[in-house]
Chain A
Amino acid sequence: MKLELRGITKRFGSLTANDHIDLTVLPGQIHALLGENGAGKTTLMNVLYGLLQPDEGEFILDGQPTAFHSPKDAINAGIGMVHQHFMLVPVFTVAENITLGVERTHALGLLDRRRTRRDVRELSERYGLHVDPDALVEDIPVGVQQRVEIVKALLREARVLILDEPTAVLTPGETEDLFRVMRELKAGGTSIIFISHKLREVQAIADTITVLRRGKVVGERPPTASDSELALLMVGRKVELRVTKAPAQPGDVVLDVAGLTVPTGDHLLTDHPAAVDDVSFQVRAGEILGIAGVQGNGQTELCEALMGLLPSVAGSVRLSGRDITSATPRDRLRAGVGYIPEDRQEDGLVTDFSVADNLILDVYDRPPFASGLSLNLDAIRSTAVKRVADFDIRTTSTSTPTGTLSGGNQQKVILAREIGRDVKLLVASQPTRGLDVGSIEFVHRRIVEQRDQGVAVVIVSSELDEIYALADRIAVMYEGRITGFRPPTTSAEELGLLMAGAGTGPDAGTQAGAASDSPGEPTEPV
């Protein structure tokens, strides 16, 4: 099916999210939509999927102008969408989820389970999707859940499949699997619109790349286009894709974690007793330790335990020799730990509060911001003005609620707050998740700058690119354990293996058997 978008325009108040967008998706083509967050990719796809109505423009399907007033219209026209956040019922089986809304029934309206299962199996085998119709969705890994979403769209006879940032939740291995599936679908004649902000992935899989910037199409390129050319189109200026940094000059040990063990919050839901299992590492002043791993392998809990937000049951944490294992979060912050939490809107910011208030969230009761019980509004305001300038926070004023800022600027507020204090140790969890290239560059430079000033830095990231860009040493976490320490020169393949639990590194011998515990299908080597 040939899909054409002509002059699609979508406005939100004064903001034009999509500005006269023209796009043509040929049958059996993988068409990548590349752009920063806020470029209007998701808006465009929501318009296409009938979730939003365009203010101007039209869709042409195989030469026929068409309008979609709801997702139902779009589905009937053969458009399927896999959202960034899956729309699955966790306690239903794969087959039930797939047929939700288009249930196979007997004459009397009873569910025909046999036919449901058969249909799902047939469809998934045709494209090599390998999903077990009887597995419960909550039991299968994220990569497989994504395939369930794809099968769901295919069952509704999608001939144009929209994948919105599909690789954000996948391991490198799972990403390769997804690409294989995409190629099979393409061979079967399905068109795919692949939304991403990752240059490497787009180059690897797309037939055509359309770049969006600030709601406009700024160019169409073949996948052979260079990194720097695509980045230039995407950001509109020259960006350094890799932070240039001098070799680390490690000093004294700042953070010493020994045998740290943190129980999981929910013993009933997982069979794994400890979220963080006997983890030991040291970080020295002036070095960055990158903790790599697929999301959900204990990194979040490790960071929260380091900050005193989760209690540990064994092990110790020392900061410059001082035992802070049982110190409160406030004690740790005061002792010189900066913390950039993984979920900035949930843990990092009060989105209803102004930029100025968020900039003092953990120092509001200390001079110069407070004298006695009284807040010093002048000091708060003037510091905010200074930080906004220093950290290039794009906001209309310091009293603007942070919830209205873009993700990149929200992260800059947190960064400005945390490294605006005198810190010895910076713990940053997923510091650039969901940010645009420009903001990523900014955050990375600031973190390296801190390292160069002698701060010990722990970076947790599930993006290998980020780990490579920042880390002086890499630790890989899998199922709550560190499966190996590696230098930053290690290949992605080797790290991918460690991330999948197949570590046999020098200090990972005991975890060798852990791989067999991994649920569902084993992740294939890259």
Chain B
Amino acid sequence: MSGPPGEGPVTPGPVTPGPDGPQSPGPGTPQDAGTPAIATSASGDAPPPASGGEETAQDGRQPFGRIILESIVEGNSAMVTTLAIVAAIVVGGLLIAFTDPVVLTAWSNFSANPGNAFAQAWDSAAGSYSAMFEGAIFNPHTIAAVFQQASLASALHDGYVSAVFNPLSETAVNATPLILAGLAVALAFRAGLFNIGATSQWIGGAMLATWLGFGVSLPPFIHCVVCVIGGFVGGAVIGWVVGVLKARTGAHEVIVTIMLNYVMEYLLSYLLGTSALGKPGSNDLISPNIAGSAVLPHIAGPSLRINAGFLVALAAAVGVWWLLSRSTLGFEFRTVGANPSAARAAGMSVERTWILVFLIAGGLAGLSGAAVVQGTDHFLTFQSYGTYGIDAITVALLGRARPLGTVLAALLYGGLYAGGVQMQAVTQTPASMTEVIQALIVLFVAAPAFVRALFRLRGAKAGGEGQTLAKGWSG
């Protein structure tokens, strides 16, 4: 009945193996290191070195989804992700060049003037990318314009200074909903769950935030906060439904979230056609504008679209980081995500975790909806949800399901959108080329082995045991 005192100082064990002589496996010595724990059948070829323990290794028993998840989230180093982006930009450049009629004409006369063909191709791609850069990050012409003004004061007053920051503002505005929805997917990933339903949760949040925005009247600041909280709650309710269905009935979250996306999309259309959410006297499926008091304030002057929603998104990212790496709840989430049976044996309730994860993830996606409605759009239409929910998945994967990574990936995507608009305006390259580049990034990220081969990186997994798992989980 007695024992060493519980969590307090433990009585130092009087019995330790004799300190004399060398002892069994030294620090970090893997067991029968690197040998395939399970070999292929007699006639098979040499198998890849399987990591795993000595007697308990039973590879291949993992569910398929988990393997995909691990290979994307864990298998990619930041290096591979970066190189995937580089590769996508290079391939994107080739596509830009060789869909340009001018370039094609030059290449049809390749034998007459090969130099011109290359020059035209380079000009086309470089021109498009520099326009994209100007649209997404900064445009040298705007700086020049500032210096042409009589004084800094007049430059400020006439909006020349804000013009300099307009590209960055646009990037941040485009990134805001992606950060929030991306976090919703990333958080679920870390708990071993696929949240394909950011769309439905986005709609849930956006509907509640919109309704609170035009339906109630409150003092300015309070109204805004109430609507943001409403956005979280609206999304959380939808997420909670998914969690409960999975925990109580074992329904697979992928099916449930995909189907709920349809439910919410049509519910949105329906409600916008009724007096509950629709604009009175309008035949369009559109809501009334939210009250001015519910609009998220601009944070860098009235002429820049960047608003407090971006701060909400960054705060949410910090919150998710804290949750995952500093809180007991996050410890539970990560344990359930990494090994549900060990979580169960350690007394955690896997089901409760599923419900909580989906609740919080739904809330984050709901915030994304609120940020769009309160930050930029100010009303809701039957297709406001756009592709946020789907882009969120790629953003979360690109960000390797880490909060910081998700923010960076969302900024990249936001920049691509902002730059794409500028690119189309300045060059004749269609803005949809940005979507091609985004798709290429995802393709390269999903094929890490290909990227490694392309850049002759040493395989992170092929170098033997130890390296495979030598990756921290914090952050």
Complex Cα distance A436/B6, Å? Answer: 29
Give chain B interface residues in 1-44, CB to chain A under 8 Å: 1-7, 9-10, 12-13, 15-18, 20-44
A10-18, A19-27, A56-64, A472-480: which lies at the interface: A10-18
A341 to B13, CA, bound (A): 22
Taking a contact as CB atoms under 8 Å apart, the answer to whether B10 and A361 are in contact is no
- Report Cα–Cα, A351/B15, bound state, in Å: 27
Q: Tell me if A237 and B327 are in contact (CB < 8 A).
A: no
Q: What separation, in Å, do the CA atoms of A424 and B332 have in the docked complex?
A: 25
Contact B54 A365 (CB under 8 A): no
- State the Cβ distance, A199 to closest chain B Cβ, in Å: 16
Question: How many A-B contacts if CB must be within 8 Å?
Answer: 290
Asked whether B406 is an interface residue with its Cβ less than 8 Å from the other chain, the reply is: no
- Decide if B46 touches A36 in the complex (CB within 8 Å): no
Say if the beta carbon of B438 comes within 8 Å of chain A. no
Known A394-B27, A446-B13; contact A51-B47, beta-carbon cutoff 8 A: yes
Contacting residues, chain B, for A423 (C-beta < 8 A): 3
Given contacts A401-B471, A446-B15, contact A361 B342 (CB under 8 A): yes
Q: How far is the CA of A403 from the CA of B464 in the complex (A)?
A: 13
CB distance from B59 to the nearest CB of A (A): 10
Determine the distance from Cα of A102 to Cα of B41 in the docked complex, in whole angstroms.
12
Are A373 and B43 touching (Cβ within 8 A)? no
What is the minimal beta-carbon distance from A308 to any residue of chain B, in angstroms? 9
Whether a CB of chain A sits under 8 angstroms from the CB of B140 is: no
Q: Interface digits, B38-63 against A, CB 8 Å rule (1 contact, 0 not)?
A: 11111111110101111111100000
Give the contact stretch, choosing among A1-9, A131-139, A449-457.
Answer: A449-457
User: Which partner residue on chain B sits nearest A83 by CB separation?
Assistant: B39
A315–chain B nearest beta-carbon distance, Å: 21
Residue of A nearest to B44 (CB): A71
Q: Residue of A at shortest CB range from B25?
A: A406
* Complexed CA–CA distance, A101 and B74 (Å): 36
Contact status A438-B7, CB under 8 Å: no
B6 and A422 within 8 A (CB): yes
CB <8 Å contact, A341 and B349 = no
Asked if A441 is at the interface of the complex by the 8 Å CB criterion, the answer is yes
In this assembly, does B151 line the interface, its C-beta being within 8 Å of a C-beta of chain A? no
Evaluate whether A346 and B339 lie within 8 angstroms (CB atoms) in the complex, with A70-B46, A374-B328 already known.
Answer: yes
A220 to chain B minimum Cβ distance, whole angstroms, is 20
Given known A348-B345, A401-B469, A434-B56, contact A367–B21 (CB-CB < 8 A): no
Q: Which residues of A contact B56 (CB under 8 A)?
A: 343-346, 433-434
Judge whether A43 and B35 touch: CB under 8 Å.
Answer: yes
Residues of B within 8 A of A330 (CB): 347-349
Beyond A374-B327, A399-B472, whether A101 also contacts B43 by CB under 8 A is yes
Chain B residues contacting A293 (CB-CB under 8 Å) are none
Say yes or no: is A49 at the interface (Cβ < 8 Å to chain B).
Answer: yes
- If over half of B's interface residues share one DSSP class (helix, strand or loop), that class is named, otherwise mixed; here it is loop
User: B35's contact among A17, A331, A394, A433, by CB below 8 Å, is which?
Assistant: A17
Bound Cα distance from A375 to B324, whole angstroms? 10
Contact status A406-B55, CB under 8 Å:
no
- B331 contacts chain A at the CB level, 8 A cutoff: yes
Please measure, in the bound complex, the distance between the C-alpha atom of A387 and the C-alpha atom of B328, giving whole angstroms. 21
- A523 near B: Cβ within 8 Å? no
> Is B112 part of the binding interface, using a Cβ–Cβ cutoff of 8 Å?
no
Binary contact track B74-116/A, C-beta < 8 Å → 1, others 0: 1000000000000000000000000000000000000000000
CA distance A175 to B34 in the complex (A): 29
Given A374-B327, A424-B1, also A449-B42 (CB < 8 A): no
The residue that B23 contacts in the complex, of A156, A370, A438, with Cβ under 8 A, is A438
State whether the Cβ of B301 lies closer than 8 Å to any Cβ in chain A: no
The CA-CA distance from A177 to B355 in the complex, in Å, is 53
Cα separation A411 to B233 with both chains bound (whole Å):
44
Does A313 count as interface, using CB distance less than 8 angstroms?
Answer: no
In Å, the complex CA distance between A452 and B165 comes to: 73
Distance between Cα atoms of A168 and B3 in the complex (Å): 34
Could you tell me if B341 and A409 are in contact, using CB atoms closer than 8 angstroms? no
* Residue of B7, B21, B334, B473 most packed against chain A (CB within 10 A): B7
Q: Is the CB of A368 within 8 A of B18?
A: no
CA distance A329 to B7 in the complex (A): 19
Give residues 87-105 of A contacting B (CB, 8 Å).
87, 100-102
Contact in complex: A391, B13 (CB < 8 Å):
yes
Interface residues in A365-418 (C-beta closer than 8 Å to B): 365-370, 373-375, 377, 383, 386-387, 390-392, 394-396, 399-401, 403-410
User: Which A-chain residue is minimally distant from B325 (CB atoms)?
Assistant: A375
Residues of B within 8 A of A230 (CB): none
Whether A173 is near chain B, meaning CB under 8 Å from some CB there, is: no
Q: Is B391 located at the chain interface by the 8 A CB criterion?
A: no
Q: Is the CB of A395 within 8 A of B35?
A: no
Interface size class of A (residues with CB under 8 A): 35 or more
Q: Does A259 contact B (CB under 8 A)?
A: no
A87-B42, A377-B326 given as contacts; is B55 within 8 A of A409 (CB)? no
* Contact flag A51-B36 (CB < 8 Å), given A346-B339, A422-B3: yes
Counting CB contacts under 8 A, is B153 at the interface? no
* B338 interfacial by beta-carbon distance below 8 Å: yes
Known contacts A17-B32, A46-B35, A75-B43; A449/B15 CB under 8 A: yes
Tell me the residues in window 386-442 of chain B with beta carbons closer than 8 Å to chain A beta carbons. none
Given contacts A168-B55, A353-B473, A394-B27, contact A237 B20 (CB under 8 A): yes
**Given A361-B346, A394-B26, A42–B338 Cβ distance below 8 Å?**
no
- The answer to whether A85 has its CB under 8 Å from any CB of chain B is yes
A309 at the interface (CB under 8 A from B): yes
Given A71-B40, A401-B469, A404-B470, A12 and B341 touching (CB < 8 A)?
Answer: no
Q: How far is the CA of A437 from the CA of B20 in the complex (A)?
A: 16
Contact A17 B34 (CB under 8 A): yes
| Distance between B134 CB and nearest chain A CB, rounded to angstroms | 43
Are A237 and B18 in contact, with the CB atoms below 8 A?
A: yes
Selected from A373, A419, A433, A453, the residue in CB contact (under 8 A) with B329 is A373
A-B contacts besides A38-B31, A346-B341, 11 pairs, CB < 8 Å? A41-B32, A46-B39, A236-B23, A237-B22, A309-B345, A347-B342, A352-B471, A366-B7, A377-B326, A438-B23, A450-B3
A-B contact pairs, 24 of them (CB 8 A): A12-B465, A15-B29, A38-B30, A38-B31, A42-B32, A46-B35, A51-B47, A52-B36, A53-B46, A70-B46, A87-B41, A102-B43, A329-B346, A333-B346, A345-B53, A346-B341, A350-B335, A354-B472, A370-B328, A375-B331, A387-B10, A404-B28, A404-B466, A420-B4
Q: Please list the 8 inter-chain residue pairs (A to B) with the smallest Cβ-Cβ separation, ordered nearest first.
A: A330-B347, A438-B24, A12-B34, A434-B55, A237-B21, A422-B6, A362-B346, A101-B43
Interface residue ranges, A against B (CB under 8 Å): 12-13, 15, 17, 36-43, 46, 49-53, 69-72, 75, 80-81, 83-85, 87, 100-102, 152-153, 156, 165, 168, 235-238, 251-252, 254, 285, 307, 309, 320, 328-334, 339, 341, 343-354, 357, 361-370, 373-375, 377, 383, 386-387, 390-392, 394-396, 399-401, 403-410, 419-424, 433-434, 436-439, 441-442, 445-446, 449-450, 453-455
